[in-house]
Structure 1
Amino acid sequence: MVQVRPLATAEQVSEFLGVPVATLYQWRHRGVGPRGAKVGRHLRFRWADVEKWFEDQTSGGSRVA
């Protein structure tokens, strides 16, 4: 059986990345930052997407400008 990690909230991702929640919403509006999805009215993230985005930032991938 494949174990799936629970989806992350914007608050959890902001704490992990050390940025305000508002920054995540700005990044989403601008099309940068970790990929997230709306679940009803709520923004949720897959941890694998957040971690991959972070790795891309630290390894010379796309930059947030």
Structure 2
Amino acid sequence: MAPKRAPETDPQTTLRAGLPDRYLTPDDLKQMFGLPSVETVYAWRKTGVGPPAIRIGKYLRYDPGAVRAWVESNTETAAA
């Protein structure tokens, strides 16, 4: 009997409901924002457009709180 797998969660729902309690990978950001490729995340970092990342060895990781703050600071409000 095969072990049960955890249900897949929609990254967009995860972003709306609350970010996971772990550091995020560039691929996590790609999925959450529906980006065409992970290269977009790397380009954001290179140009200083995206959320701040930290380097752990050769890997980039994103603090969920920093990602949330970045989203909120870049959210446009409707004109009155």
Settle same-fold status: TM greater than 0.5.
Answer: yes
Aligned residue for 1:8, secondary structure, equals: coil
Across the aligned residues of Structure 1 and Structure 2, the Cα RMSD in angstroms comes to: 1.3
Looking at both structures, which has the greater relative contact order when contacts are Cα pairs under 8 Å and sequence separation is at least 6? Answer: 1
1:63 aligned partner: none
Gaps of 5+ in 2: 1-20
Q: What TM-score do the two structures reach when normalised by structure 1?
A: 0.76
1:13 aligned partner: 29
Number of aligned pairs?
56
1:40 aligned partner: 57
- The higher radius of gyration belongs to 2
Q: Percent identity?
A: 32
Distance in 2 (alpha carbons) for counterparts of 1:51 and 1:16: 12
Q: What TM-score do the two structures reach when normalised by structure 2?
A: 0.63
Structure 1 segments, 4+ long, off by >2 Å, are none
Distance in 2 (alpha carbons) for counterparts of 1:14 and 1:39: 19
